[in-house]
């Protein structure tokens, strides 16, 4: 008996991107025997498969381009913040790492943790719109200066508004100074009205601010910061978040390799 032989038909698929054209490889179909004719309907089907493959490859390339653009935008925003206030930049990086650890302990999933990460990174981005003379003032703020400072969550939300990929992060940035008892700003949200990601960032933000030297005061001791976090649980901060935050902060550092 003679072994069966298969025949193939191939249609090249090309993806075009502005001035360049790129070969994506052939779309191929197998026909069972040399005697079976390749009908026009099968060629049409093959052409359709090639077209769908071309679209898929083009869309994948476009998505990669969007991702690169998004990451570049994030980097540019972070650099702008660092140029404005180096404390705010390093402060944001610490809060980002700490907030992720607290989020993990609270059982957040990967999507929520990504929102925590980006929210923490940008929670103070609105300070770009606040005069440095106010941000770095060594003494107490006036009522007018305090009012300006309290505008920065709304400014941050507006700065991020043109970036579609940060749509889910904007409410977090806006809510990062809302208090659990409803006495925060800018919207007076309370308890579960405040996004969980923002409640996490708020507690971590407060601890780091208390334990860092600022122009208007020296850093508090870690023990005093722990005491103040505990005493403000249920009023300023989400009590569950404070409990987890303190547990994470009190964990011994990982052993060096």
* Phi, psi angle pair for 112, to nearest 5°: -65, -40
Same domain, residue pair 93 and 26: no
Residue 190 lies in a domain: yes
Are 162 and 170 in contact by the 8 Å Cβ rule? The answer is: no
SS3 for 65? helix
Model-wide pTM > 0.85: no
- Do 195 and 172 form a contact (C-beta atoms < 8 A)? yes
Q: Which burial class, exposed, middle or buried, applies to 97 when counting CB atoms under 10 A from its CB (0-12, 13-18, 19+)?
A: exposed
Say whether both 57 and 93 belong to one domain: no
**Per-residue pLDDT for the chain (257 aa), expressed as one digit of tens each?**
444 455 555 545 554 444 444 444 544 444 444 444 545 655 555 555 555 555 555 555 566 666 666 656 665 666 666 666 555 556 677 889 999 999 999 999 999 999 999 999 888 888 888 888 888 888 889 999 999 999 999 998 998 888 888 899 999 999 999 999 999 999 999 999 999 999 999 999 999 989 988 777 789 999 999 999 999 999 999 999 999 999 999 887 666 55
| Nearest by Cα to 95 from 118, 68, 75 | 118
| 79 in a structural domain | no
Separation CA 197–CA 224 (nearest Å) = 25
Q: Could you give the number of structural domains in the chain?
A: 2
On whether residue 128 sits in a domain, the answer given is yes
Which domain, by its residues, includes 119? 85-249
Residue 72 in domain: no
How many beta carbons lie within 10 A of that of residue 59, not counting itself?
Answer: 11
């Amino acid at each position: 008996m003679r072994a069966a032989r298969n025949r193939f038909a191939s249609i090249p698929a090309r993806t075009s991107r502005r001035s360049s054209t790129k070969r994506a490889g052939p779309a191929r179909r197998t026909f069972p025997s040399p005697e079976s004719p390749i009908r026009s309907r099968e060629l049409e089907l093959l052409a359709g498969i090639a077209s769908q493959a071309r679209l898929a490859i083009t869309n994948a390339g476009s998505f990669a381009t969007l991702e690169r653009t998004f990451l570049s935008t994030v980097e540019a925003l972070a650099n702008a913040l660092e140029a404005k206030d180096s404390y705010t930049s390093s402060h944001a990086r610490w809060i980002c790492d700490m907030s992720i650890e607290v989020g993990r302990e609270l059982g957040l999933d990967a999507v929520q943790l990504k929102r925590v990460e980006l929210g923490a990174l940008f929670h103070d981005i609105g300070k770009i719109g606040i005069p440095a003379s106010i941000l770095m003032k060594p003494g107490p703020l006036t009522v007018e200066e305090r009012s300006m400072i309290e505008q920065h969550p709304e400014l941050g939300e507006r700065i991020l508004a043109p970036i579609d990929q940060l749509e889910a992060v904007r409410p977090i940035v806006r809510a990062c100074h809302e208090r659990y008892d409803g006495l925060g700003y800018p919207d007076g949200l309370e308890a579960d009205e405040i996004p969980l990601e923002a409640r996490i960032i708020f507690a971590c933000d407060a601890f780091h601010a208390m334990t860092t030297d600022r122009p208007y005061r020296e850093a508090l001791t870690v023990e005093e910061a722990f005491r103040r976090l505990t005493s403000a649980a249920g009023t300023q901060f989400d009590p569950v978040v404070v409990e987890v935050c303190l547990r994470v902060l009190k964990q011994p550092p990982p052993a060096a390799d």
